[in-house]
Amino acid sequence: MKLIVLGAPGSGKGTQAKFITQKHRIPQVSTGDLLRDAVKRKTTLGVKAKEFMNTGNLVPDAIVLDLLKGRLMKDDCLHGFILDGYPRNIAQANQLAKITDIDLVINISVDYGLLVKRITGRRTCKVCGSIFHLEFNPPSKVGICDKCSGELFQRSDDTEETVKKRLNTYENQTKPLIEYYSSQKLLQTLISDGTIKEMRHKVNDLLEKTFGS
């Protein structure tokens, strides 16, 4: 199962990718997570990437490709993976095609107004990376992760100002991938206008229809 989850920032890619990981035992490969880890560790790559991330721009293709290749070479990706946040433009999609084939692209479609609300209310666990939302998926105890009791934080790029720039970047650079994968007959669009649970069912149904599991 080699999947891409496509969608605007805040559409719920990470949330659904984590469910797929649990059910199908394939890893979630999030270039955003890989980059944030590099920023946190202050690696040369991380230092370069930080300014692009904080201003809502895409990190240069070559940097992200290096990170991605390193991750896909690991053993746990041998039987499949879910790409979350990659590719982000046509050049990256062409580079990806040289590394691996893809079975299915799940495109999560969400209204613009809802996206801003989802992103600004997002809270993430510092320890295990679980994703919560102040209104739509609140933790049982304020600021504490339900799964590991880690501290929840707001991503530095999840402010209203940066969000607008990120959504702009999505419109201009990432959205053309819908047509790109649609023309290759790999794309299935799911509209996310309901709860996280409802979306989880839609994704499960699609995977069952496509892979029979």
Residue numbers annotated as active site: 13, 88, 122, 155, 166
Burial status of residue 60 (CB atoms within 10 A of its CB: 0-12, 13-18, 19 or more): exposed
Strand partners, 28: 82
Among 3, 29, 53, 104, binds ligand AMP (CB under 6 A): 53
Map residue 116 onto helix, strand or coil. helix
Is 96:123 a contact under the CB 8 Å cutoff?
no
Q: Which of 6, 64, 72, 190 binds ligand AMP (CB under 6 A)?
A: 64
Please identify which residue in the block is written with the tokens 């990376």: 129
For the window 166-205, what string marks contact with ligand AMP as x by the rule CB under 6 A? Answer: x---------------------------------------
Both tokens of 155, joined, read 């991503």
CB atoms within 10 A of CB 172: 11
Point out which span in 48-56, 104-112, 128-136, 145-153 binds ligand AMP (CB under 6 A).
Answer: 48-56
Beta carbon of residue 55, minimum distance to ligand AMP (angstroms, whole number)? 8
Residues that bind ligand ADP (CB under 6 A): 7, 9-15, 118, 121-122, 131-133, 136-137, 192, 195-196, 199
